[in-house]
Amino acid sequence: MKDTFEKKIRFLNKNWKYMYDSRQFKTAEYWTILKKTPFHGDCEDYSLTLLYLINDESMWGFWKDIITYKARMRYCTIGGEGHAVLEYDGMFIDNIQKKWCTKETMQADKYKFNRFPYNPITVFFKLHVIGRIKWLSK
Please give the residue that has the higher pLDDT: either 53 or 132: 53
How far from chain centre, in Å, is Cα 111?
Answer: 15
Full residue range of the structural domain in which residue 17 is found: 2-136
Contact 117, 124 (CB under 8 A): no
- Which of these, 84, 101, 72, 79, lies nearest to 9 by C-alpha position? 101
- pLDDT at position 131 is 60
The pLDDT-based confidence of 33 (bands split at 50, 70, 90) is very high
Residue pLDDT, tens place only, 41-96? 999 999 999 999 999 999 999 999 999 999 999 999 999 999 999 999 999 999 99
Q: Does the pLDDT of residue 23 top 70, yes or no? A: yes
- Per the structure, the count of domains in the chain is 1
The predicted structure's pLDDT at residue 25: 80
Report how far residue 132's alpha carbon sits from residue 135's, in angstroms, rounded to the nearest whole number. Answer: 5
pLDDT at 122: 92
Share of the chain above pLDDT 70, in %: 92
